[in-house]
Chain A
Amino acid sequence: MKLKVKNFNVKINNKDILNNININFKKNSIHALIGPSGCGKSTFLKSINRMNDLIDKFTFDGNIFLDDKNIYDIDEVSLRKKVGMVFQKATPFPKSIFENVAYGLRIHGIKDKKFINKKVKESLKASALWDEVKDKLNSSALNLSGGQQQRLCIARTIAVNPDVILMDEPCSALDPISTFKIEDLIQKLKRKYTIVLVTHNMQQAKRVSDFTSFFLNGHVIESGKTNQIFLNPKKEKTESYISGRFG
């Protein structure tokens, strides 16, 4: 298991947001998190790379282990290097395409130009963007389309060699073709990375993921193989959610 979450609880402002979460994430798999809006999926995702530490009134208990190491025993910089994150809204920096991908390398102290060039190229290729941008690496990333921007953000994330990639509804702002490209990409990425994918799109979870966990009001109702969850859910609430009866 790449990631293990044990009895994990989160409170923000003393309000219970996540209750007793237990999920294991298998190495080189895609694990989808589904559930209605406000049920705590993003909060859970941000617990894994400790982005919640930025929130003022955030408290937690329980443990999350990355490769059997408690994430609070790893300093947050190394943790975030290992656990990359792609946000719902594509957020390329207002820099060139090249500099966006090189950013992570540079902040981690890499100066070797050749290495950076090579890594940028590799990452853009791995995120299926290279062919579209190879002639304009120095133009602003903000001129790319939404789908391209999102793939650039994925490239930027994989450039720093993470083990795990957290994706928070990466396709929710994209058209069907861009969505398809990213889904395709996500499936290729799992050969190298462990992927946690938050999605509102049931079809997407079904199409791309190996495992699925269903969140409701800060609880994990059911967790298991994607096929089982969608074809043969054990809990009634799961059944009614995936059949679209609420949420």
Chain B
Amino acid sequence: MNEAIVEKGLFLLSIFSILIFLLIIIFIILESFPAFQHIGISNILFGINWAPDNGFYGILPMILGSIIVTVFALLIAIPLSIGCAIYIEEFSQNHIKTLFKPIIQTLAGIPSIVYGFFGLMVLVPISRDFFGGSGFTILVASMVLAIMILPTIISLSQDAINSVPSEYVESSLALGSTHIQTIKNIILPKASLKITTAIILAMGRAIGETLAIIMVAGNVAEIPTSILSPVRTLTSNIALEMGYAIDIHYNSLFATAVVLFSIIMVLMIISNVIEHKWGC
């Protein structure tokens, strides 16, 4: 009797949270609708000019901006974090392992403005001194983003490495393979699925990051031409202009949001498919 009530209660709660989520999505889609209707889907998605004052609402520069910054961030973060995870799990002494854990948790908990501030005060000037220009570049934005997603990939990769059954490892060592060979041939292949989903999760986080990026990316709404160009991401586009946007401009920011969460939804679907289809 009591259990039935608890179960019903939990059911209602979960329905409620799903409902809220759906309402938000519906709201965003409805608000974006006028933009798609008046400007045209392809003009929004593939337009290379973003100039609301002159009636241009192309968000292709921002789509590319988000993708490029994320890709570079991953290129920096993946080798670093997987290397770090392998070191901690396979080579470090126990006391180092226990030292690393809270450090990584703390890194993950630091608010993004702190990372942005660090980027602005340290990395932007370095980039300016080294490469000239303003210093607000894709390079710096990707580096800040990379630092921010490191903890996610590290700790999830650690879990992945940890979850490789020790029997596999022992069998491999008992056959006379070295520790390194065992890592390369047994541990990493077995952990690779989970590491992949970790990377996708980090990708979602990177694409969604806003504040830190705005502080260091320069935010010029143009298709970047080099890694030293400034860049504006989808999230920045919304955050920068939401304060004063009206009418179709306002709706086009919601269109940006729709594109953003479509990308993230696709990533989450991919990660779920990986987990369930080839799940370990």
Contacts and interface: CB of A to CB of B under 8 A. Distances in A.
Contacts of A157: 174-175
Contacts, number: 62
A80 B171 contact: no
A93 B171 contact: yes
Contacts of B186: 93
A42 to B, nearest CB: 12
Given A93-B186, A94-B190, A107-B185, A51 B171 contact: no
Interface string B135-163: 00000000000000000000000000000
A201 interface: no
A103 B169 CA distance: 13
A21 B172 CA distance: 28
Main secondary structure of the interface of B (DSSP, over half): helix
A8 interface: no
Interface residues of A, number: 25
A156 B173 contact: no
A80 B170 CA distance: 11
B94 A78 contact: no
Q: Which of B170, B177, B178, B189 neighbours the largest number of chain A CB atoms within 10 Å of its CB?
A: B177
A160 B174 CA distance: 11
A108 interface: yes
Contacts of B176: 77-81, 104, 107-108, 160
A51 B174 contact: yes
A198 interface: no
A219 to B, nearest CB: 26
Contact of B177 (A51, A79, A94, A107): A107
Contacts of A77: 176-178
Q: Which of B167, B170, B176, B186 neighbours the largest number of chain A CB atoms within 10 Å of its CB?
A: B176
A155 to B, nearest CB: 12
B168 A93 contact: yes
Contacts of B177: 77, 103-104, 107
Interface of B: 94, 165, 167-168, 170-178, 181, 185-186, 189-190
Interface of A: 49, 51, 54, 56, 77-81, 84-85, 87, 89, 91, 93-94, 103-104, 106-108, 153, 156-157, 160
